[in-house]
Chains A and B, each alone.
Chain A
Amino acid sequence: MAVNRMFRTCPASGLLFHEPAEKLMRFHAVAAVVSLLIGGILAIGVVLTRWQAIHLLPPDLFYQVLTAHGLNMLVFWIIFFEMAVLYFAGSTLLRSRLATPRIAWAAFWLMVIGALVNNYSVFRGDSSVMFTSYAPMGAHPTFYLGLILFAVGALVSCFVFLGTLVVARAERTYRGSIPLVTFGALTACIIAIFTIAAGAIILIPTFFWSVGLIDHIDSLMYKTVWWAFGHSSQQINVAAHVSVWYAVAAIVFGAKPMSEKVSRGAFLLYIFFLQLASAHHLLVDPGLTSNWKIFNTSYAMYLAVLASMVHGLTVPGAIEVAQREKGHNQGLFTWLRRAPWGNPVFSAMFISLIGFGFLGGISGVMMGTEQLNMIIHNTIYVPGHFHATVVVGTTLAFMGLTYFLIPVLFRREVMFPGMAKWQPYVFGLGMSAVSLFLMGAGTLGVPRRHWDISFAGNPFPYEFPGAAWLMMALAGISGLIAIVGGGMYLLITVGSVFLGKKIVTPGFQHVRARENVAAIPAAAPVITSHGSIGAGGMVAPGTFVLAMVFLAAFVLYYFINWKYLSTVWPLK
């Protein structure tokens, strides 16, 4: 079988696309967007039911819709998109042909079938078990089967990515080390492989249990292994969206990493210290010792948190340096004021960074503290937290990247550019508000995954304080704003990809690369010194100030919660 060596060079960005890789990326992106569309429609039902004044859906439908919302968003939208990112970081950035395109296609279709089968099971109505599907609550066998097929597909795609790295090295398509963004994608891929292994360990027996071949699944064992899968997969998201941040900083500003060593070292910390993170989902569970909980939640002394704090500095830091070198060198924040706030690629990335750090990061570390978890566990604070990480953080970063990919990958002009300008703000700020209000309600004890906090008709109702109701109503309103923002994104992407004006470049075509792919690109210029930019001996003083503001917010919030904990009933 002849190897396909057809490539094209993007006239706008200079990126080199391998023909099959390009097609695969397009299909993954489309599958991702379709999942987002489904999840987004379901979000309307979720948010309007939890807004008690509207209380849209009946209970069975609510739990069904919530299950499907979680799965389509968290699993299908994000992972389809991530696989596109892997192929981009592997094949396109390394200017290499994709290894084994046929296998990659088989993996893609396996993922599609898995997603369909899983959605079918939830649609049946007997699998409203939430995406966590805690045994011994059982779902229809197709629920687990769908997830297993999807996971196998994703695993195979990961190996195609690794294979591509091998091909690129063997065919010498680049010089030296792989680019930072590819390094980040590699981090995501390695974590994904471990994660999916954990998923297999738990989902395969559960599938056998659901068809009657195994008669008992221990609930604690299930929950522990499930979160080795469920939590680590969030780390895939973090590694992926941090890579996207670096990519966007490079695309929009030509920013170079402040230092490769620090950024890569931080990615390595993710790999080394993440696997045990399932512990923070078990902090209030019986049968595990405090020592185990403390060691594992602290991710061996919070080294993964440290890594995220480092990326949180180096990404804006790199932007600041690039901006200052372009002449925006006055004062502390001129570089930021002069940033292209009307360019959705940038604004999405920047809101993603701030929202992920300030809302998602701080709340996550707080919740993940052994004792503090007691006043948070399973309240709606938890969805508040992860809508900041996985929606404002990951989803919005991917949205920003899409605006770059539409012309480059799909060769279409972005439709409704005026709307695109606003989309990251509507979605990002709406969603940040959702997170904040859900966190507020959670602090007042409002449970997650709960149909009716009015407890109507219940012999022992609990009356939540008025503030909790207000918070849920505000979450509902901001949820609608976020849904509008999501709708704008869908309209723009679907419109552009299928109906947008084609970008035609005369003489443009795929060309056969003879020996290798193309001329090896020059490496990035060596940075000898940053000249005279910055202030106070720092090249990025503005970023440093932002980081200190972040730290102050973090410390304050962390200790406020200890204070709050100290007022609840003593227990031991």
Chain B
Amino acid sequence: MSALLPPAEQVWWKQPLDRVELIWIVIALIWCLIMFFMMPYWHIYGKQNLSNEAYRARPEEYAKKAEDMIAKYKVREEGGDLKVPVVHPPAGSDVYLIARLWSWSPMLELEAGKSYRIHLMSMDWLHGFSLQPENINIQVHPGYEHVVTVTPGSPGTYSIICNEYCGINHHTMTSRLYVVK
């Protein structure tokens, strides 16, 4: 029962290692290095990278910026009595999305193939921006304004759901995102 007993060799670090072990260590190390280099590689050659752009912001200021944008680019309202504003901002512009208990505002209408600077921030607790069915998931913090440049793919109706648990109505926190030609 030797793993349960002291090793025979006092200086266990001088024991020779077996061939199987040596080969495996070398292979595993190479594989680990490949995985390590994939990340910087993708930053240079890949198209899906999260930005490092983030600012500290106060909820009131952020909400103000979002309200201004809504006033400028609102095209309609949706959701019956909820009157969720839908905005159609120009390509390349700054788009502000507010996450709060338990809704997203405004609803976005974006053009396929154009890029937008989408700002994400929470007014209260943590929320999770989860775009379906693309399955892009980004954490949304209160007090941190995160800017991601997104280029929507094919036209259609997408959904935003909250996937960070944010209390009792977490599962009701949904919205839409339209991509038009």
Contact = CB atoms under 8 A, between A and B. Distances in A.
A461 B148 CA distance: 25
B159 A462 contact: yes
Nearest to B104: A460
B125 A136 contact: yes
Nearest to B13: A261
Given A447-B161, A538-B20, A59 B168 contact: yes
Interface in A322-357: none
A298 B130 contact: no
Interface stretch (A22-30, A99-107, A285-293): A285-293
A57 interface: no
Nearest to A530: B18
A262 B25 contact: yes
A251 B4 CA distance: 8
A379 B137 contact: yes
A298 B36 CA distance: 6
A459 to B, nearest CB: 4
B85 interface: no
Interface in A107-152: 128, 130, 134, 136-137
A204 B78 CA distance: 45
Q: Which of the listed residues A136, A218, A261, A370 has the most CB atoms from chain B within 10 Å of its own CB? A: A261
Nearest to A67: B165
Nearest to A174: B6
Interface stretch (A227-235, A493-501, A508-516, A547-555): A547-555
Given A219-B141, A445-B132, A521 B7 contact: no
Interface stretch (A76-84, A192-200, A388-396, A450-458): A450-458
A202 B143 CA distance: 19
Interface residues of A, number: 114
Contacts of B151: 569-571
Given A250-B3, A444-B135, A452-B171, A571 B49 contact: yes
A448 B171 CA distance: 10
Contacts of B137: 284, 374-379
Contacts of B35: 298, 302, 305, 365, 369, 558
Contacts, number: 324
A67 B158 CA distance: 30
Interface residues of B, number: 93
B2 to A, nearest CB: 4
B2 A462 contact: no
Q: Which of the listed residues B14, B19, B36, B168 has the most CB atoms from chain A within 10 Å of its own CB? A: B36
A371 to B, nearest CB: 5
Nearest to A321: B18
Contacts of B16: 259
Contact of A286 (B13, B25, B38, B54): B54
Contacts of A219: 125-126, 141-144
A309 B30 CA distance: 12
A572 to B, nearest CB: 5
A214 interface: no
Q: Which of the listed residues A540, A554, A571 has the most CB atoms from chain B within 10 Å of its own CB? A: A571
Interface in A437-471: 443-445, 447-453, 455, 458-462, 464-465
Nearest to A521: B5
Interface in B140-173: 141-146, 148-153, 159, 161-172
A260 B21 CA distance: 11
A175 to B, nearest CB: 6
A455 B171 contact: yes
Contacts of B128: 377-378, 447
B50 A551 contact: no
A539 to B, nearest CB: 6
Interface stretch (B40-48, B65-73, B87-95): B40-48
Given A445-B133, A554-B31, A565-B48, A176 B7 contact: yes
Q: Which of the listed residues A286, A562, A568, A570 has the most CB atoms from chain B within 10 Å of its own CB? A: A286
A375 B74 CA distance: 30
Interface string A534-565: 00011111011001000100110010001001
4 nearest A-B residue pairs (beta carbon): A286-B146, A462-B159, A286-B54, A447-B163
30 contacts: A63-B168, A134-B126, A136-B124, A176-B8, A179-B6, A179-B7, A218-B143, A259-B18, A260-B15, A283-B50, A294-B36, A302-B32, A303-B32, A305-B35, A306-B32, A313-B20, A314-B21, A369-B38, A371-B46, A374-B138, A377-B138, A378-B163, A445-B130, A445-B135, A447-B130, A450-B163, A455-B172, A569-B134, A571-B136, A571-B148
Interface of B: 1-10, 12-21, 23-25, 27-29, 31-33, 35-36, 38-40, 42-43, 46-52, 54, 56, 78-80, 82, 84, 120, 124-126, 128, 130-139, 141-146, 148-153, 159, 161-172, 174-176
